């Protein structure tokens, strides 16, 4: 496979992520789900943006499911409203 056709190695590449903010209005927890990406790791930190805010996250738990799927439960460490 040519280098230009390789899949990205970083976690937020072209994958089928689902992001759930809890509660939606002012998130304190974020669940990230995927099935074809490598799972996140406990302790990892990420910033996720949405139209109204930026959420700094810390991965606290990983749940592995059948078929290679997983869910990462993340705590919102900082929230910046735009």
Q: Mind listing the pLDDT tens digit for each residue in 49-74?
A: 999 999 999 999 999 999 889 999 99
Q: Which two tokens stand for residue 8?
A: 């990205």
Confidence grade of residue 38 (pLDDT, cut at 50, 70, 90): confident
The Cα–Cα gap between 35 and 4 comes to 23
Q: Please confirm whether the linkage preceding 79 is cis (ω < 30° from 0).
A: no
Confidence grade of residue 5 (pLDDT, cut at 50, 70, 90): low
Print burial letters for 7-39: b (CB count within 10 Å at least 16), e (below 16).
Answer: eeeebeeeeebebebeeeeebeebebbbeebeb
Give the per-residue pLDDT at 57: 97
Within the chain, how many helices (H) and strands (E) appear? 0, 5
pTM above 0.75, yes or no: yes
- β-bridge partners, 58: 45, 75
């Amino acid at each position: 496979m040519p280098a230009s056709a390789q899949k990205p190695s970083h976690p937020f590449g072209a994958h089928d992520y689902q992001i759930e903010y809890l509660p939606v209005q002012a998130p304190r927890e974020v669940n990230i789900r995927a099935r074809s990406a490598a799972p996140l790791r406990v302790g990892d930190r990420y910033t996720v943006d949405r139209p109204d805010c930026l959420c700094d996250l810390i991965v606290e738990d990983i749940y592995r499911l059948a078929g290679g799927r997983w869910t990462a439960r993340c705590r919102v460490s900082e929230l910046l409203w735009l």
